[in-house]
Structure 1
Amino acid sequence: MKNAIIIFLVFALIGFGGGYLVSQTMKGTDDVAAPTPAETEEANNAGNEPATNESEGSNSGGATAVSAEGEIISQKGCLACHSVEKLGLTGGTTGPDLSQAYANVQDKHGKPINEFLKEPTTAVMSSVMGGNPLTDDEINQIVEALKIASEK
């Protein structure tokens, strides 16, 4: 009985510790990514568009629309776990590629993508977004970007 309790406590601590690390990683990503729009605007005003594409993680040559579409996804830290290959955004591999999320979330999670982003149905997304919820405007921007990705 004592061994079972000790094992439970060890696994509980590991689970909470892992959740905390993911949460802190997402917060740290937001802090780093937040200045990007201002830097992007300054770079565009100076005529340095190639640097902007690199900072957005774009692999496609000179597509400024990709940078604009992916900006919100980068700002909110989604790229810490996800990629959006269709927008030229390379990120983490923990989560799935979001290129087809606009079309697939309804079937996969039983609710439209905008509702999923308000109240995720997965434990990981619930814990990640619980500490940093999206505003309605941010949700609309992300949904629009993912719609564009799904049409490419």
Structure 2
Amino acid sequence: MDSRTFRNAMGTFATGITIITTEIDGEVSGMTANAFMSVSLDPKLVLISIDKKAKMLEKIQKTKKYGISILSSDQLQESMNFAGQIKEKIDVDFDRVGDMPVLKGALLNLSCNLADIHEAGDHILFIGEVMEMKINEGDPLLYFGGKYRNLVMNESLAH
């Protein structure tokens, strides 16, 4: 199978959207990612997967810490911005959780210290220990079939 077919097949798994952030010398860098998962409750660990060609890779390797913001349904523009899909620069409202910059208004903000790194094909897996978090109310921004989506609750399934 070719890479495009595999990518399309993996797109049948609906995911939330995250913005991964870190800071070097007062300059915040970020990227959009949907490769995120919880790994462990004790210790509290999460995993992100970053392409070896991504600019964020060396920044996280250098800082050894990062923020994760799980986006709400009204943060489509932020997702597109950090994915490089918007050419003009937009103003981004950052907050801080612990010592990490995170997106204001996200459903969840995490501050992580790098716990482990694993090479996996053309990506690097970063396992982070969650140091602090902030939870907000709202609905998630989703990604499915190569498109952004919003959550619609079907009442017949909500039992």
For this structure pair, what is the TM-score category when the shorter chain's length is used for normalisation? under 0.3
Q: TM-score, normalization: structure 2?
A: 0.23
Bigger helix fraction: 1
Bigger strand fraction: 2
Q: TM-score, normalization: structure 1?
A: 0.23
